């Protein structure tokens, strides 16, 4: 049955009988058959395109060198999206969103121009030529790619750059002159560490930093995949409480354990190289201070696999006996004792939160907290997101007059 | 205009505007720095950056990647003189293009690709609707005669 026969009403009775004798297509021109065949072939092509496109949803490159080459290509194109695509997905996720929000706030404050777009930053031209790379496998799925030869040329025109109207006058005349030049990258020792995920290779910023540090001190290759195991908490609040208490006691091991296994994979992998020294240093440091947390109440707001946990109530005593200084906070007032401010009288300051204690009247208190993330059903503290979220929270409560006040205070201090 | 000619013209218009949708998808949709991305490159970047998390968004992404297949299917249905199938596929192609174009124009900077996609999407939907209506109204006359006279 043809589509017409199945879907359309029967022909009207006055139709001449000879017109329905032959079925559609019985005398179709060869061109029509060719068109159908072409269409069928195109459908096969479309199906292949569909399956390949869905399979490439994670990005990455086929080899370590290709991953780094793609990053340099994106840099040369000033293609921020392209650079992000080459990064390890867990690291990319840390930056996604935050950078754009922070840029927007910097634009609002006049530090950057208010129409700045990370996808197209004017005034900066960058190019790389003659790049050659060598790759060295560190471990299975981890390779360092070293830039062997190449030249970079750059041109920065501050007049066209997205510097905001608050910052521009502070930079002076010299900073408004265009800068251009070229560098031979051959002797710069530029290298990036790449990580294989799935069957694709990605550039990892954290592994690159860790690997560069390891090489610098001549440490052995760590046992990748068998480093310090992550141990999360069952709730975001519990994770934050454990992190705060570990921080107070300088329990470095517990602090690392509480970082997310995916996001802080490099930290977990490289931890065995420094953890014993860090623990010993922390033990020594603990001899010089005393801290006691009396009350600690936390409130968390969970959104999917992410939570923002704020300290709603805290009471603590801290002291450095060797300096004769102590700080006491009872949830409302902070009392500082010792000859710290040129007087032996205790200094007491009260108010909501810590803002009044800063001595900067009118500066609102930002809504700061710890960002916890859920991985494998357990909650961990994300250091990068906590820092970026804190920066964003701080920027959000500031306005132009706050910056001008900071300038008066710090400009005045600088001027003598 | 005879029903036969209008039927063929409607099929041709639906197929041609579907091809225009595919052409529009290959135009620049987003420029970042000196790099330009087609609609598929943009979809891939957005997917890589995790903007297609969640089932509904993944379905939208899959539908977008399916666009070349759907356009080819529209062509094939048109070549095989299947007016209702051509109209249905053309309608899906046009609607997908229209929604994607509007989303990118609203959420990102205007670029030639999404603007062209909106135009081609509207044209595809319009020709698909005309084709479907013509097929329904003319009934078998228009297309059965097509088979006899060609």
Give the start-to-end residue ranges of the domains of chain A: 30-59, 61-221, 233-358+367-381
Chain B residues with beta carbon closer than 8 angstroms to that of A120:
31-33
pLDDT of amino acid A363 = 63
pLDDT of amino acid B150 = 34
> Could you count the other beta carbons within 10 Å of the beta carbon of residue B54?
10
> Could you count the other beta carbons within 10 Å of the beta carbon of residue A264?
26
What is the C-alpha to C-alpha distance for residues A41 and A174, in angstroms, rounded to an integer? 63
Would you call B144 and A20 a contact, using CB atoms and an 8 Å cutoff?
A: yes
Chain A residues with beta carbon closer than 8 angstroms to that of B45:
81-82, 85
**Domain map (residue ranges) of chain B:** 3-27+66-143
pLDDT in single tens digits along all 416 residues of chain A: 444 444 445 555 554 443 333 445 455 678 888 999 999 999 999 999 998 887 766 678 999 999 999 999 988 888 888 888 899 988 888 877 778 888 888 988 888 888 777 777 778 888 898 999 999 999 999 999 999 999 999 888 888 888 888 888 877 776 778 888 888 888 788 899 999 988 889 999 999 999 999 999 999 999 898 999 999 999 999 999 999 999 988 999 999 999 999 989 999 999 999 999 999 999 998 888 888 888 888 998 999 899 999 988 888 888 888 888 888 888 788 888 876 666 677 788 776 544 444 445 556 677 789 999 999 999 999 999 999 999 998 888 888 888 888 777 776 544 43
Would you call A78 and B33 a contact, using CB atoms and an 8 Å cutoff?
A: yes
Chain B residues with beta carbon closer than 8 angstroms to that of A74:
33, 35
| Cα torsion angle, A131, A127, A172, A103, sign | negative
Q: Is the pLDDT of residue B147 over 50?
A: no
Chain A residues with beta carbon closer than 8 angstroms to that of B65:
49-50, 53-54
Please give, rounded to a whole number of angstroms, the shortest distance from the CA of A382 to a CA of chain B: 18
Burial bucket for residue A366 (CB in 10 Å: 0-12, 13-18, 19+): middle
Chain B residues with beta carbon closer than 8 angstroms to that of A61:
none
What is the C-alpha to C-alpha distance for residues A302 and A400, in angstroms, rounded to an integer? 32
- B33 pairs with which residues across the strands? none
pLDDT of amino acid A411 = 65
pLDDT of amino acid A261 = 93
Would you call A7 and B35 a contact, using CB atoms and an 8 Å cutoff?
A: no
Would you call B44 and A57 a contact, using CB atoms and an 8 Å cutoff?
A: yes
CA distances from A20 to A12, A23, A289, B33, B144 (A): 11, 7, 100, 62, 7
Would you call B69 and A49 a contact, using CB atoms and an 8 Å cutoff?
A: yes
Burial bucket for residue A342 (CB in 10 Å: 0-12, 13-18, 19+): exposed
Please give, rounded to a whole number of angstroms, the shortest distance from the CA of B32 to a CA of chain A: 4
Interface mutation target, options A1, A2, A3, chain B, most CBs of B under 10 Å: A3
Pick the CATH number of A233-358+367-381 from 1.10.10, 1.20.1690, 3.40.50, 3.10.450: 3.10.450
Name the pTM for this structure: 0.75
pLDDT of amino acid A341 = 61
Fold of the domain built from segment(s) A61-221: Nuclear Transport Factor 2; Chain: A, (3.10.450)
Contact A372, A234 (CB under 8 A): no
Average pLDDT over residues B120-147: 77
């Amino acid at each position: 049955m043809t589509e017409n026969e199945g879907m359309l009403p029967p022909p009207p009775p006055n139709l001449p009988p000879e017109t329905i004798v032959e079925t559609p297509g019985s005398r179709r021109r060869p061109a029509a058959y060719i068109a159908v065949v072409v269409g069928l072939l195109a459908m096969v092509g479309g199906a292949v395109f569909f399956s390949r496109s869905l399979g490439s949803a994670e990005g990455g490159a086929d080899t370590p060198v290709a991953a780094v080459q793609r990053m340099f290509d994106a840099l040369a194109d000033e293609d921020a999206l392209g650079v992000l695509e080459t990064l390890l997905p867990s690291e990319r996720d840390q930056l996604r969103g935050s950078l754009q929000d922070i840029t927007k706030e910097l634009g609002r404050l006049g530090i950057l121009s208010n129409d700045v777009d990370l996808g197209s930053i004017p005034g900066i031209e960058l190019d790389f030529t003659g790049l050659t790379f060598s790759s060295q496998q560190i471990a299975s799925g981890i390779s360092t790619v070293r830039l062997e030869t190449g030249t970079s040329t750059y041109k920065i025109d501050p007049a066209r750059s997205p510097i905001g109207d608050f910052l521009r006058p502070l930079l002076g005349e010299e900073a408004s002159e265009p800068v251009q030049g070229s560098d031979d990258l051959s002797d710069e020792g530029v290298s990036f560490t790449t990580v294989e995920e799935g069957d694709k290779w990605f550039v990892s910023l954290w592994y690159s930093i860790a690997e560069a540090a390891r090489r610098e001190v001549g440490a052995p290759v760590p046992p990748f995949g068998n480093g310090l195991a992550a141990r999360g908490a069952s709730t975001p609040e519990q994770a934050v409480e454990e992190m705060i208490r570990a921080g107070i006691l300088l329990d470095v091991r517990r602090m690392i354990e509480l970082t997310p296994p995916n996001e802080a994979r490099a930290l977990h992998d490289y931890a065995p190289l420094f953890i014993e020294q860090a623990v010993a240093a922390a033990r020594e440091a603990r001899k010089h201070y005393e801290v006691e947390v009396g009350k600690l109440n936390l409130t968390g707001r969970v959104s999917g696999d992410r939570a923002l946990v704020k300290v709603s109530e805290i009471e603590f005593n801290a002291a450095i006996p060797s300096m004769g200084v102590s700080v006491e906070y009872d949830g409302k007032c902070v009392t500082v004792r010792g000859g710290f401010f040129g007087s032996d009288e205790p200094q007491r300051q009260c108010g909501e939160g810590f803002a009044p204690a800063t001595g900067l009247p009118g500066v609102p208190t930002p809504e700061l907290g710890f960002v916890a993330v859920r991985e494998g059903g357990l909650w961990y503290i994300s250091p990068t997101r906590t820092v970026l979220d804190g920066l964003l929270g701080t920027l959000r409560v500031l306005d132009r007059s706050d910056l001008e006040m900071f300038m008066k205070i710090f400009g005045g201090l600088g001027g003598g | 205009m005879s029903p036969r000619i209008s039927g063929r013209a409607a099929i041709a218009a639906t197929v041609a505007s579907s091809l225009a949708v595919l052409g529009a998808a290959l135009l620049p949709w987003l420029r970042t720095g000196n790099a330009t991305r087609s609609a598929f490159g943009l979809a891939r970047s957005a997917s890589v950056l995790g903007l297609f998390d969640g089932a509904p968004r993944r379905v939208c992404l899959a539908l977008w990647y399916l666009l070349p297949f759907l356009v080819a299917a529209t062509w094939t249905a048109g070549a095989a003189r299947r007016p209702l199938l051509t109209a249905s596929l053309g309608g899906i192609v046009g609607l997908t293009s229209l929604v994607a174009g509007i989303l990118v124009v609203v959420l990102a900077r205007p670029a030639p690709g999404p603007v062209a996609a909106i135009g081609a999407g509207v044209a595809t939907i319009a020709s698909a609707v005309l084709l479907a209506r013509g097929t329904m109204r003319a009934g078998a006359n228009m297309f059965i005669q097509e088979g006899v006279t060609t």
